[in-house]
Chains A and B, each alone.
Chain A
């Protein structure tokens, strides 16, 4: 089974709903990777948006030799580099001046200390929740999220049917989602005060 292949196939047929599901699936990873490179969330977000639009236009040419994310990431990095290159060409600087310094000079718009603090606090709670989970759920989630194994591989390791793995991972995610929801509600009520 490969849901991503279906999402790509439908996107190639012009199904924007399928493409939106793909965007939601990859946006955090893409923006996270771009932000590690450019240290500027706003710029990373703009580039990610443009990259997704380019990806939609050209998805017919994606031959699936590589993973979708690899293809998307390359489009995003090239978009960023070309943006920076054209910016400097306009200033009549002949050579490409793309280096780490320039990439970080594009803005001082780092994430706010509050948002970093909130994300870290949420991550701590999620990990606490993960370590408190029943052993069989914790194993399934860990093998999936940190070792990248598919359900069949996890089923072999845990010596249980694939359906059980699917249920265990779902139960684990539900517990994690409850943490996220309660923290979001706490943050909302704090902001409302």
Chain B
């Protein structure tokens, strides 16, 4: 005997339905407003029991779908081999960085001061105080975050990636600073990796992306708030 619709929706709620069962349930939810309401109600009860909501928000799914239907929104096409292309790209970029690092290393060690003055990275400003070099700027950010700057990576267009370690927890995080504006596609792509803020420095666009493999989302949000709070000061 087949399970009732409620029985099967309960399993769907827990992610415990087979592909075939899931496909059937999607059709049934879409076909019957009654079943859709039941699905919404079951989700609300679950959220209330697990305290995921502290008030009872309304259902926004219909607005989202209406918006998707009414406008000319189309899904972006991502080719299957995009990931391998990205890997090739990063491999190439890493190679270039490594070569640059090897070439520049003697100068960086001997003439740290000259590195500061010849750096090609545009300087940011903290409030109204100009910062003489990006290295000291990045170190300052690290201090504000109670972390230490471990490594700076230089990428194309003068962009940089600064790698930090939190002093007390030893967790590492990355600050990627892009000194240019990004296309909508690149903005969205970047927004799925860490916390990103698009801002201005010296009237020029700056994109700051904070990411970490060791800090969860909530931690990243708190960290990003600390960065921007301190930049403001």
- A positions within 8 Å CB-CB of B: 1-4, 6-7, 10, 12, 14-21, 23-25, 27-29, 31-33, 35-37, 41, 44-45, 48-49, 52-54, 56-63, 70-71, 73-75, 77-79, 81-82, 85-86, 89, 94-100, 103, 111, 115-116, 118-119, 122-123, 126-127, 130, 144-146, 150-151, 166-167, 169-170, 173-174, 176-177, 180-181
Produce 1/0 per residue, B31-61, CB < 8 A to A. Answer: 0000010011111111111111111111111
Q: Which residues of B contact A77 (CB under 8 A)?
A: 195, 217, 221
Q: Can you offer 17 A-B residue contacts whose CB atoms are under 8 A?
A: A2-B15, A7-B22, A24-B39, A29-B52, A33-B52, A49-B67, A53-B68, A57-B73, A61-B192, A77-B221, A81-B195, A81-B196, A94-B202, A95-B232, A119-B55, A151-B11, A166-B16
Contact across chains for B192 and A166 when beta carbons are under 8 A apart: no
Q: Which residues of A contact B61 (CB under 8 A)?
A: 20, 23-24, 27
- B positions within 8 Å CB-CB of A: 3, 6-7, 10-19, 21-23, 25-27, 29-30, 36, 39-61, 63-65, 67-69, 73-78, 82-83, 125-127, 187-189, 191-203, 208, 217, 221, 224-225, 228-229, 231-232
**How many angstroms from the CA of A176 to the CA of B42 in the assembled complex?**
9
The majority secondary structure among interface residues of chain A is helix
The answer to whether A89 and B76 touch (CB under 8 A), given A10-B23, A79-B191, A145-B49, is no
The majority secondary structure among interface residues of chain B is helix
Which listed residue, B54, B67, B191, touches A74 by the CB 8 Å rule? Answer: B191
Contact across chains for A95 and B50 when beta carbons are under 8 A apart: no
Contact across chains for B26 and A82 when beta carbons are under 8 A apart: no
Contact across chains for B49 and A123 when beta carbons are under 8 A apart: yes
Contact across chains for B56 and A119 when beta carbons are under 8 A apart: yes
Give A4's nearest chain B residue, CB to CB.
B15
Q: Which residues of A contact B56 (CB under 8 A)?
A: 115, 118-119, 122
**How many angstroms from the CA of A79 to the CA of B45 in the assembled complex?**
28
Q: Which 3 A-B pairs have the closest CB atoms?
A: A28-B47, A111-B55, A60-B78
**How many angstroms from the CA of A167 to the CA of B192 in the assembled complex?**
37
Contact across chains for B201 and A94 when beta carbons are under 8 A apart: yes
Q: Which residues of A contact B13 (CB under 8 A)?
A: 25, 173
Which listed residue, A3, A53, A174, touches B22 by the CB 8 Å rule? Answer: A3
Which listed residue, B22, B73, B77, touches A60 by the CB 8 Å rule? Answer: B77
Contact across chains for A16 and B69 when beta carbons are under 8 A apart: yes
